[in-house]
Structure formats: structure tokens, C-alpha cells
């Protein structure tokens, strides 16, 4: 996972806009925060890493779950109403 984050950060750093800069900063905070020596660099770094993984990560997961639930509900309604019919008929 660390390699994926590092490569995504490298690719994002080349794009050079504000959102990608935030991605790079978040990647660096998480990568450095996972290291055992992170608390010696800055005492608040592990807490900041936990916040980055907790708050924005939870918001993203919650958004994905809401999207999946709405898509499943819409598909179920379409099947029950009869708009989507199976190919076997």
C-alpha cells in the first residue's frame, strides 16, 4: 500500500494544481506517520496521520456506501416494476 500511495503521490505531483498538492501532502503525512520514528520528528504527526486516515477516509467510504445503496435500490425498483427484464425470456 505504501508503494501505491508513493506512486500516486509522484503522479499527482506532476499535475501541479492545488488538489494534487493536497494529495501529496496527505500521502507524505500518512507515509511518514506510519514510520516508528515519526513521533520523534514531530509529536503531533501520529495524531495527524490518524485524523487523515479517519475523517476524510470515513467520509469517502460513507459516500461510496451511499452510492452503492442508491444504485441497488434503483436497480431493485426497476426489476420489480418490470423495466429491466432478464435475457432468458
- The whole-number mean pLDDT for each consecutive block of 10 residues of the chain, a chain of 89 residues, reads 75 74 82 84 87 90 96 92 72
Residue 58 inside a domain? The answer is yes
- Rounded to whole angstroms, how far apart are CA atoms 66 and 8? 26
Residue 56 inside a domain? The answer is yes
Q: What is the pLDDT of residue 8?
A: 76
Residue 61 inside a domain? The answer is yes
Residue 87 inside a domain? The answer is no
Q: What is the pLDDT of residue 29?
A: 87
Residue 88 inside a domain? The answer is no
Q: Which domain holds residue 15?
A: 2-81
Domain count, the chain: 1
Q: What is the pLDDT of residue 40?
A: 85
Residue 64 inside a domain? The answer is yes
Residue 86 inside a domain? The answer is no
Residue 38 inside a domain? The answer is yes
Amino acid at each position: 500500500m505504501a508503494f501505491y500511495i508513493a506512486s500516486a503521490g509522484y503522479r499527482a505531483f506532476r499535475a501541479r494544481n492545488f488538489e494534487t498538492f493536497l494529495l501529496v501532502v496527505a500521502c507524505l503525512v500518512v507515509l511518514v506517520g506510519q514510520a516508528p520514528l515519526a513521533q520523534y520528528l514531530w509529536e503531533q504527526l501520529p495524531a495527524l496521520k490518524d485524523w487523515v486516515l479517519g475523517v476524510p477516509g470515513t467520509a469517502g467510504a460513507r459516500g461510496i456506501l451511499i452510492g452503492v445503496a442508491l444504485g441497488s435500490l434503483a436497480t431493485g425498483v426497476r426489476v420489480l416494476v418490470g423495466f429491466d427484464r432478464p435475457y432468458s425470456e
